[in-house]
Amino acid sequence: MASKVEGWKDEVYGEEVRDHLFRFAEEGWSAIPDEEHDAWFERFKWWGLYHQRKGQESYFMMRIGTPNGRMTPEQLRVVGEIARDYATGPVDNPEFGDAYCDWTTRQSIQMHWIQLQDIPEIFEKLEAHDLSTIQACGDSWRNIVGSPMAGRDADEHIDAWPVIKELNETFKGNDDHSNLPRKWKVAVTGDTRGSGQAEINDLGFEPATKDGRRGFNVTVGGGLSRKEPRFARDIDVFVTPETLPDVAGGLSALFRDNGDRDDRFNARIKFLVDEWGTEKLRRVLQEEYVDFELPSAGEDLREGYTYNSGRSDETGDYVGVHDQVDGQNFVGLSVLVGRMGAEDVIELADLAEEYGSELVGLTQRQNIVVADIADEDLDEFLAEDLLENYSPDPHPFMRGSVACTGTEYCSLSIVETKNRMVRYARWLKDNVELPEGLTDFHIHLSGCTASCAQPQIADISLRGMKTRKNGEPVEAFDIGLGGGLGENPQFADWVEMRVAADEVPGYIENLLGIYEERRDEGESFREFIARHTDDELNGLAEPEETSYEDPYLGNTKLTWYPYADDSDMDAAPTPADD
């Protein structure tokens, strides 16, 4: 028996939802029947709209998909203007503060406090600049991820951008692929930076060579969902840029026809791969979904790369100054937990237009990149005031902090996330001396057991929970250690459960002290964790209560200054959750 959601989708889904959405926008919130809220909110996701949490009933989060994270400066400016004009918070709360954009871990853009009546006008502004919310959410092809600097990056085996562009044009809004059993996440990687994170995607293409031709090996069935994360599995297929779209479409159709539509918790393709195995999946793909002989996998061109290495040559987040193939530079700016004020977005668009050319990019580490900066302009660009807030050379604790939406807006989250991760990062920067050689360190904070912040692939993983302290309920975190992608991918080991939120920074400080004291020469943090058993890791470091709230209280939901100094923090209001 098909799930309830499948029944809703059978009635109305995909492109046709737009007409209903615009009708509701014209007639008002009350036009959506109370008994049909869940059904319509599920359908709205296909158009990039998530209903915000309880207490914010008339507002939506809007997600804009940017394939490969790529935009022009003009598109970035339009995004900032929409955030400034429409993502403004409750009209009865004039002290809400600055509007902002959130850059996501799938190279998309999120804006909050969007009202139903504004959606047609927002869509018109987006579409006039070749931007769209189509399939940014929902049971369909999601935003295709990879290197935003594809075709420019000097550290690249094959330019994946033409392929990603073709996939986006072919499968976004395609009726044959618009209603899948669940979400469909695709990564195409042409470099050795780990830019696509194919290992944790439903469908991944990684650079390879075979018979003198460069192309991609194919992996299927990765994912970080709350139920049994999986690394993608190699299905022994090599594709060229010319054959890749046919294989991608074949696998999408295979999932459409064979994925579980009865149990949504079992509907991702990773469970079909579990059930069938890779040999059967390849055979069915060959016999029923492609009309040419599938060659076996080629030689992986990424062999030896490590993501989350903990060493100074880590480049997966694009932060810093990097060489382009044409002799120019791209500059990656660190955006703490991915949140950037609307006016800052507009200013950055102006700077990108002045110093760069037609390309800015978002990364899966919630950062932003400006391309095509000439050597003679580089120092002047780096001296711009805005870069004091969004640094190309941040402290490792600032650089490696990732957080999801959290209780501020998300109905699934059970803890505060972005504001708390900002305070953690500041406290750690000011109070913890990093062990020698540890220049790249990732802490990912997720507000629940879902994986929007990708906690399983971080050096330190934080998963929102609740506990009791001194007899009172408090927010807490499960703590995982040693996650990362690369040649030997590893999900984090969950070693401490329900640690009170105010004891987490102290735990991290104590853990890094133990790592510095006991590590072998040249041993990275991830390697140090990997050589310990789960029993050894449990209790390895002690949680310790820390006062990270003051003066680290800045970046509340009312005022957002990601790199503000202590004088700015003192004036910041207290968040309601605290």
DSSP 428-472: HHHH-PPPTT-----EEEESSSS-TT-GGGSSEEEEEEEEEETTE
Asked if residue 560 lies in contact with residue 578, where contact means CB atoms within 8 angstroms, the answer is no
Q: What is the pLDDT of residue 552?
A: 56
Q: What's the CA gap between 345 and 101, in Å, rounded?
A: 8
Residue labelled with tokens 């971080």 = 458
CB 225 within 8 A of CB 268: yes
Question: What kind and span of H or E run contains 425?
Answer: helix 418-431
Decide: 320 and 392 in contact? Cβ < 8 Å: yes
Q: Distance between alpha carbon 158 and the CA centroid of its chain, in Å?
A: 23
3-state secondary structure of 396: helix
Instruction: Please tell me the predicted confidence (pLDDT) of residue 2.
Output: 86
Residue 531 CB partners (closer than 8 Å, separation 6+): none
What is the per-residue pLDDT for 93?
52
DSSP secondary structure code for residue 286 in this structure: I
Range list of H helices, 262-412: 269-276, 278-284, 342-355, 375-382, 396-399
CA dihedral (200, 203, 209, 210) positive or negative: positive
Confidence (pLDDT) at 236: 98
Q: Which H or E run contains 426? A: helix 418-431
- As a whole number of angstroms, the distance between CA 230 and CA 210 comes to 27
Going by the DSSP 8-state scheme, the letter that residue 112 receives in this structure is E
The reported pLDDT for the residue numbered 471 is 93
Q: What is the pTM of this model?
A: 0.92
Cβ within 8 Å of residue 326, ≥6 positions away: 152
Tokens of 199: 């290992």
What 8-state DSSP symbol labels residue 230? B
What's the pLDDT at 314? 46
Residue whose C-alpha is closest to residue 51's, from 64, 61, 43 = 61
For the chain, 578 residues long, the average pLDDT of each consecutive 10-residue run is 93 96 95 94 97 81 97 98 91 62 96 96 98 97 96 93 97 96 96 86 96 97 86 98 98 98 94 98 98 97 55 62 96 96 97 96 96 98 97 95 91 91 94 91 93 92 96 96 88 95 97 97 93 94 85 44 35 28
CB 460 within 8 A of CB 445: no
Cβ atoms of residues 75 and 130 within 8 Å: yes
Contact 345, 76 (CB under 8 A): yes
pLDDT given at position 89: 78
Distance CA 495, CA 482 (A): 10
> Residue 402: enclosing H or E segment and its boundaries?
strand 401-403
Secondary structure class of 85 (helix, strand, coil): helix
Q: How many residues does the chain have?
A: 578
Q: How far apart are CA 299 and CA 216, in angstroms?
A: 9
Residue 86 and residue 61 in contact, taking contact as beta carbons nearer than 8 Å: no
Could you give the domains of the chain? 4-127 (3.90.480.20), 161-300 (3.30.413.10), 320-393 (3.90.480.10), 397-567 (3.30.413.10)
Q: What is the pLDDT of residue 578?
A: 25
Count the Cβ atoms, other than its own, within 10 Å of residue 60: 23
Nearest Cα to 543, choosing from 492, 494, 502, 493?
Answer: 502
Q: Quick one: tokens of 106?
A: 């799938």
Percentages of the chain per state (helix, strand, coil), in multiples of 5: 35, 20, 45
CB proximity list for 528: less than 8 A, separation 6 or greater: 515, 518, 519, 520
Closest CA to 317 of 444, 161, 478, 487: 444
44: closest CA among 27, 30, 61?
61
Compute, in degrees rounded to 10, the torsion defined by CA atoms 87, 554, 421, 185. Answer: 20
